[in-house]
Amino acid sequence: MTLQRGVFFDRDGVLNEALLKDGKPYPPADAESLVVVPGARELLLSLKNKGFILICVTNQPDVARGSRTLDNVIAMNEKVRNFLPLDDLLVCIHDNIDNCDCRKPKPGMLVKGAKEFGLDLSRSFMVGDRASDIGAGRAAGSRTIFLDFDYNEPKPNPPADFTCFSLNEAVEIILNN
């Protein structure tokens, strides 16, 4: 059996707009304020039409920290799932101190998605806007695409396989590689 190709996407800042505070990205407050990146549906459909499995992988540590409810995160994820042609959306609600396998930069969510959908991680991509996204993709053995929005935080080191400045550019890279 030939394994399929997949694309893993971070959620906040990649599939939906992040809120910037002091140059750092944060998730929206709730589903009502969540705005899907303009054009994202069409871009993801272009990948689906080429046979890619599309999976969102998102860290949501505010649940473990008690500053956001699980219901709030579920509502935001459902809004993203209802609007975008995703095959799955995986979420880690742990914080760093939990030392789980699913919190990026660990590759747990990517490995889980790959097993569930029969993906060849070496032929798949991880698209993210933070160093932890790129770390997870690298740890899983995927090709990595860093969306550089010039946040006030460290960039991936070592750098991603590709760096670009929009979801549109990331999709072009995937379709051309």
- Report the sign of the C-alpha dihedral through residues 15, 136, 111, 61, in that order: negative
Say which amino acid occupies 10: D
**DSSP per-residue string spanning 93-148:** ---GGG--SSSTTSSHHHHHHHHHHTB-GGG-EEEESSHHHHHHHHHHT-EEEEE-
C-alpha closest to that of 58 among 23, 98, 3, 18: 18
pTM of structure: 0.97
Q: Of the residues 10, 129, 133, 161, which is catalytic?
A: 10
Q: Pairing between strand 125-128 and 24-26? A: unpaired
Q: Write the pLDDT tens digit of every residue in 107-163.
A: 999 999 999 999 999 999 999 999 999 999 999 999 999 999 999 999 999 999 999
Helix pair angle (108-117, 131-140), 10° resolution: 50
Burial 11-30 (b: 16+ CB within 10 A, else e): bbbbbbbbeeeeeebebbee
Domains, the chain, with CATH or none: 6-175 (3.40.50.1000)
Q: Are 15 and 80 in contact (CB under 8 A)?
A: yes
Say which amino acid occupies 100: C
- Say how many C-beta atoms besides its own lie within 10 A of residue 77's C-beta: 20
Q: Of the residues 12, 129, 133, 161, which is catalytic?
A: 12
**30 counts as catalytic:** no
Q: Write the pLDDT tens digit of every residue in 60-118.
A: 999 999 999 999 999 999 999 999 999 999 999 999 999 999 999 999 999 999 999 99
**12 counts as catalytic:** yes
